Structure 1
């Protein structure tokens, strides 16, 4: 185990994850609420997977989420678009629908975010931001539960399912992070190992 909780672990994506990754992002219930089109042609999907797996460390981290003690990919956690000077990173996540409503993503993020703020990505981060389609109430509820603040709505930013959609911006600052620190004690050394892979 590289990093995790009682029910989950997170580590680097590997070649063996491609089929599960493809299934995850080919599912319109997963892809569309994130603003992506479901994966189609396997060759293009494989290339996208390899770019994701091989993201340069200076751009951020992308982690595979798995049930504790198993190799099965059930989700993906993205900490990307890392701006080192401004010290912010953009959060994204996806979870297989069979795992929805069980608190897995909350559990994961409550454990990971304090460590990210503390420097687990090799440098401290001051801000984590997330973009959520206005209709994705499940995701906006998760972020609010974690202490993120709704900072505004960008009107008609994405073209999604044949229409232009509004996107909500959420942000969490290191100074807002006291609630998360109380939920999950930082495990920086453990997470630095996971994120360095």
Structure 2
């Protein structure tokens, strides 16, 4: 299991028993998260947070997707997930989010680096994907900074908030990890 210190925060598994924490975090930061994260719309209380976290707990039990929170002094300040985690194909997809007051401290970059290291070095993943909408420039910047290659754009790939969104697909291969500047 991945659990590590990231700067002044700790990355650790986010489990169904922590649904109240996720519901409260989402409520506090909904306006910041909502444009980019569909779950920021659908998590409206502890029950919906529990359902969301239970789906990840079930996936983790099947060696699939998994979800984590970033904690600073017992307060959730963000999170990360392997939205996709497929040991058979050795492919995974990473996603992250932060509270607005936690940005600008390098937490996202160091969290993603830790997740990549765990996925490649511990679990043998060969391909790490990053997906974001073209309008999410901070997300695109993280992908570029960490050496991901933009492989293409899926046009009108998903509907969110009544709009069809394009999705950029970025990828980093295990063999490329040493190439980042």
- 1:64 positional shift: 1.6
Normalization by structure 2: what TM-score?
0.84
2:114 paired residue number? 111
- 1:125 positional shift: 0.3
- 1:140 positional shift: 0.8
- 1:37 positional shift: 5.0
Q: How many residues matched?
A: 176
- 1:47 positional shift: 1.9
CA distance in 1, matches of 2:11, 2:57: 14
2:51 paired residue number? 47
Aligned CA-pair RMSD: 2.4
Greater relative CO (CA pairs within 8 A, separation 6+):
1
Judged with a 3 Å threshold, the aligned counterparts in structure 2 of structure 1 residues 32 and 145 are, in CA distance, closer, same or farther, namely same
Matched, 1:19 2:5: no
CA distance in 1, matches of 2:5, 2:16: 21
Normalization by structure 1: what TM-score?
0.78
Question: Is the CA contact 1:91–1:128 (under 8 Å) kept in the aligned structure 2?
Answer: yes
Q: What SS does structure 2 have at the residue aligned with 1:63?
A: strand
CA distance in 1, matches of 2:110, 2:64: 24
Question: Is the CA contact 2:56–2:66 (under 8 Å) kept in the aligned structure 1?
Answer: no
Give the structure with the higher percent strand.
2
CA distance in 2, matches of 1:117, 1:94: 22
Matches for 1:47-126 after TM superposition, within 5 Å: 47-57=51-61, 58-67=63-72, 70-119=73-122, 123-126=123-126
- 1:14 positional shift: 4.2
Greater alpha carbon shift after TM alignment, 58-67 vs 169-178 = 58-67
- 1:53 positional shift: 4.2
Q: Which runs of 4+ in 1 moved over 6 A?
A: none
Gaps of at least 5 residues in structure 2 are: none
Q: What SS does structure 1 have at the residue aligned with 2:97?
A: strand
Gaps of at least 5 residues in structure 1 are: 183-197
2:9 paired residue number? 8
Residues 49-93 of structure 1: CA distance to partner in whole angstroms, max 9, x if unpaired? 3333453241132222112xx322211111132222220011111
